[in-house]
Structure 1
Amino acid sequence: MVASIAQRFHLCFRLYRCAGRYAFNDEQGFLDILAAADGPNNEADLQEILITHRNGTQSQVSRLDLSEYFKTGDESTLPKVVPGDVIYIPKTKKPSDHNAIKIIGAVYEPGRFNFNNKLTFLDLLSMAGGPKEKANISSIRIVRLPAKDEPAEIGHKVIFFDLENFIKEGNPQKKLPKIKPGDTIIVDELPHDPSDNKASWLRQSAKDSIYIFGAVGAPGRYAFNKEQGFLDILSAADGPIGDADLQELLITHRNGEKTRVTHLDLAKYFETGNEDLIPNVLPGDVIYVPQTLKAKDDKTVMVIGSVKGPGRFKWNKKLTFLEIFALAGGPLETANLSSIRIIKKNNNDPNSIIYFDLEKFIDRGGNFAGLPIIRPGDTIMVDELPHDPTDNKSTWIRQNADESIYVFGAVNAPGRYAFNDELSFLDILSAADGPDKDANLQQIKISHRNGTHADVTTLNLTLYFETGDESLIPKVVPGDVIYIPQRDGNWLDKPANRVVRLMGEVRKPGRYSFNSQMSLLDLLAEAGGPTDKAYIDKIMIVNASCCGDKSQTFSLRDYVKYPAETPIPMLRPGDTVYVPNEDDSTTTLLRQGLQDAFSLVTTLLVIGAAL
């Protein structure tokens, strides 16, 4: 209805992003229709907007300086608009190089913009669409050419502006840089180096930087301010690497009248947590992390495997397991923390390999007295989690047999899995991605192998799902084997006294699990029904009993016609059902006999005529 009445529309022309005709009602205002047209583009002259009011007997034109509204927020400067009005936003005159402001870099709409004394830095940034998500707003550069009355030899001047800090301080207007005609505003992007994931540690001007060299993961020059400290810059450089000598760090302080050097024993800080040991650092300082001198093998501890900085580390009696682990950079995301191996130097010791569950230690807030003791010559080995793309369970780790349980058969991820006292049968079944669609949940076998001999129990998981009876779930321990057979698997999976045999003209003959709640019709339906060649008038049932087998017949055709008068034979586990072929019927046999006799007589007559 609204779309058919022109008087209810606003007409918007020229430098809107989406110029056109828009629906309008009494609840909306000028800014609503401006937003509906996706706002002015970067070439719009916001100081010369024209509104033609056409709802009276004669048209009236008013002017609007929208940039003034953006600066003051004074709602009274906005005109009242009604349906039928026309809003026109002209294009700015092409700026000259001397009067233009250029904005380039990580903004949404870089370009050249007309300058006037009313526009602030933020106004210009808004006209360029604002900074992009990856813009480095902590170090925006304003490049200023020499004034007309200044010698050209002076060259251009570069002003740095920290917009991020400006916003944090509550937008103090006095700290906004003054923009002059001819200025170029450059908004750099954050680093694209995938190894540099620190958005705030940007390589930038020397006066705001700090330097870190030596045995660190990412040496270089980094931005630094008064809110940060020594540990922040060390972390920004990805921390010390494996062969860093944490007892001999050197810090060169260059921000005073004379250079001085201090020494830091970072290992002692890690031991004591004494913050007084950490020196104050300022922009311009240089941090050097030396490498350890090559130590003898019998005085080192080796850390290998899934850690960030594997290698040899100088041992001393004050270092604990966790501190050595930290020297190696800590574990990778793929590390198996539940089974860290510590290989002792003395191979003749029966306890030459110690397993340590760091994951449990962390989860339970372990006692530090329970940490393994590390001696010189020891090797700490951190294995990785499986790389199998089908195995997305970071805690179900294939590991040593003493802590494992086995799952085979009709599951989605058969194999050997880690197992502990807190887990149950359902946990390990879930770890194996559960039974597949062909699993026989009524005949699950569990082989208990943790004693002097193996015991086998059978689990009907279907009954558990139906009843929720927890007593049906067996207790399993490391070393046990769980086997889930397929429904149509080996017939030995199903004892003869628990199945009914179905043979003959059915779509899926075979052995079927059977219970007292099922009937012959259920069995036929389970097998897909009789085939097109089945002789359903005389289905034979052989009932097994202690006194000898007995047979009976059943007409499925009579049952379909007269269900009330045709009883369904009772079936029991162990019985056999045979659906004959229609060629075996009496009528078919009689017809075949007559055809054979007729053929014989015809043959004799032909022979007699020939004679």
Structure 2
Amino acid sequence: MTVKKLLITLALLLPLASYGQSISPAQIEQFKQLPRAQQESLARQYGVDLDSLTGSSNQTQRPQRQDVVEPVSRAADEERERAEAEKQREDEEAEKNDGLRPYGYDLFAGNPTTFAPVTEIPVPSDYTLGPGDVLRIQLWGKENQNLELPISRDGSISFPQSGPMSVAGLSFDEARQQIKKRVSEQYIGVEASVSLGELRSMRVFVLGEARNPGSYSVSSLSTITNALYVSGGIKQTGSLRNVQHKRDGKLLGTLDLYDLLMAGDSSEDSRLQPGDVVFIPPVGQRAGIDGEVYRPALYELQGTNTLADLIRMAGGLTPQAYPQRINIERTNEDFLRIIAEADYTSPKGQSARIQAGDRVQIPSISDVTGQYVEVKGAATRTGKFAWMPGMRVTSLIDNLNSDLLPVADKQYAAIVRTNPSDDSISVLNLRLRKAVRNPGGEHDLQLEERDRLFFFSDAGKVDILDKEEGETTERMNGEKAEIEEKEAGPETFTREILFAPVIQRLKAQASPDKPQQTIQITGPVRYPGEYPMPATRNLTDAIFVAGGLKDSASLYQAEVARYTVDENGTGQTRILNVDLADAMAGKANLKLESRDRILIKSIPDFAKTRTVELKGEVRYPGQYTFRDGETLREVLERAGGLTDNAFPKGAVFSREKLRQLEAQRLREAEERLQGDLLGVQLEGDNFSGQSADRTQEVKSLLEEVQGSEPVGRLVIDLASVINDPDYQSIRLQDGDTLTVPTIPQSVTVFGEVQFPTSHLHQVGLTVDDYLERSGGPTRQADESRVYVVKADGSVLLPEKSRWFGGRSQQLEPGDTVIMPIDVDRLNQLELWTNVSQIVYQIALGAAAVGNL
């Protein structure tokens, strides 16, 4: 039949198939004779399932792998919820057992996806063939052919041109030999290769405490563990040591999964047959083991178990285990929890019987308790080191550069010694540099067992290192610095931090007959604070422990505040004056006692320099250091006086304290002005519809305030300061500044004028003349409140000053005319008060700048 004829047949027959009719076998056979590509094209064109038409024609292809178990996260919603609920129950049970979980149950954890058989299992040579298996036979030689022969229900295969051949019940190896023999007898010059194709599937049951009990379709090669895997494993309520294999109601054998998990023994993992049952009974008795074992867990017991058996199941003891005192917690006959002990180093302890519900705790060995010395702090190698008799400090530290960190204090170290008789501690001071320079000398102290050596950081070195690291980090644009500190940085090696537990221990061990062995030292020492009492009780050693004296320390006198108890049992404090110079020279006989407080006094006003800066038209300007009580006139004489171009009336003398006060007032005024601005904005158009104009005016004024800088000017008459002996002397303060301008030629007009600027001074011109030259007032100006800031900083109001002669009075060079804003236009009395203060501050600053 041609392709066209076949297409017509398919077109007629396929629609009828939907009404219960079928295509004849002859037509299907004709369809199968077509090339594979043409079959697929026709099937796509008419919507036909190609596999349903071709039947087993695709059997030669490798069967696609089907996942039999999927993770819990891929399960259906209800399965996921059930798994989460079960996991929660398991977590609760583990919490009841102090975190111990049953051993081995996570091996098969999962959820089955389908009942599809497992086909990707290697076929052993002793595999027994049965109906459903497929044999693949490749013939080559005189005749080449690939055959796939399924085993029929009667157990035979249909060999081409040879008739049926019974293979059911034979092993795969036996069937292969028989087929090769028949081919060699009936086909001359032909050889055969026999392999197994698709395997038969069978249905088995996994019941009992399985995670998903039920009936499963598995491969004919499946064993008990395969079935467990398909069913998702065993619940924690099921037994791992008594998995039963049943057939026709009879027990064929049991599988102890502990043998598989712990020893890899799968000899009892028997092969399943159709209809077999894998039954998981409830879990048996359990005992827990925790501590220094490799697998802490709850283990299922079987028969009679000893302590050695339980430890062996837990993987054995770790090197840190202490086997001589193993605790066994168990329930006695009265249902009370008791603790028993076992020595695992003895045969009796190893054979100690383990009962259901026991909990075994394997303790750890103690830390190193003897024959050691310990190094702490700013050392290159810290930790515990072996102690030997005769050992000295230089046995551990013989090079200050290589054995200590760069930030270490190389002058002082401390040895904390423990008395073995009562475990009390004492502190020995170590002059480290002297000890290293003279090994074996008096400063190279002998170490005793359990001594602790403390090496401290030097604060100055820490600061330098931090700065260098910061610069390095900046140069590397945020990359990691080359030098990395240890996890405990230099700041943790200070005397305060390292000595803190030592001080606490000294206080705790104090008693009436052994007073607290601590002292405190304050004042100009490098590291003031509380320290252990030096063993020598000398003041010199106490100062050495605190890092030594600073250069500001006074050697004339120091004080020691001593707490004593008088004959009546009343506590009191005595003050002892000490000649510090004699004490440092070793001439003082004072011995320190418990809780002494040492005060090192500072030299009064040590290295305190006060300066005044002279600028401008001074003969020798610069920054001058002045003595206590020295005046401005005296410093000006030291500076050579003023130059010929100096304008003393315009001198600006500023003081830092006044500048700070002025800045504070400006901030307060700014805050008040911001509040006034908010009030103006909230009023809206209540005042003649000019709210927008008023708001803009206040905003402009606020911007001027925010842009103004405080000057801190003190109004002085510099000419009188220099020439008039009766003029009040100006005592200088640190940070004062005197700026003397050159002789000015201008008068400045600021404020609400059309063109604020400076004008060349002309004799005979008045305030009104200069205002007119600046274009006159603006519409926001308040002409009634015009005022003048003189060159020396004083302020005069022309309208109110009789001496000034009103606004017709002539001005002098360096004067500044201020035309203020008309705040009455804003119709706010409180705002006028605020603004007037602000404008005055701005005017003073502007005048000071303008006069320079």
Q: For this structure pair, what is the TM-score category when the shorter chain's length is used for normalisation?
A: 0.3 to 0.5
Structure having the larger proportion of residues in helix: 2
The TM-score with structure 2 as length reference comes to 0.25
Higher-Rg member (1/2): 2
The TM-score with structure 1 as length reference comes to 0.33
